Amino acid sequence: MAGTLTLALSQQNDQSGQPLSGALLYFFVTGTSGVQQNSYSDSGLTTLNPWPLVADATGRIPMFYLANGTVHIRLTDASGTVIIDQSNMQVIT
């Protein structure tokens, strides 16, 4: 089974409300801060997304799917400043 997170297709903004153009979304295996977790562009989990995912010019995160369970995510701005670092997010099916 596959699911996603509420970050999929959402616009990310900086503290002043400006879109986070080029923001980077990393997925890690829960309980780690460096073991890559794959994301996919299809719900069948057959087509790998690039790692990390890159937000478009409007700060919108592309659609992604993950295997069921939990995941550690890290969202940074384009220069690598951490915006969100959540170690145990539930994948929504």
List the pLDDT tens digit at each of the 93 positions of the chain.
799 999 999 999 999 999 999 999 999 999 987 899 999 999 999 999 999 999 999 999 999 999 999 999 999 999 999 999 999 999 988
Domain around 90: 1-93
Its pTM surpasses 0.85 = yes
Strands across the sheet containing 82-90: 53-54, 24-28, 70-76, 82-90
Instruction: Output the pLDDT for position 32.
Output: 86
CATH number, position 90: 2.170.14.10
How many structural domains are present in the chain? 1
- How would you classify residue 9: left for phi > 0, otherwise alpha for psi between -120 and 50, otherwise beta? left
Q: What pLDDT is stored for residue 66 in this prediction?
A: 97
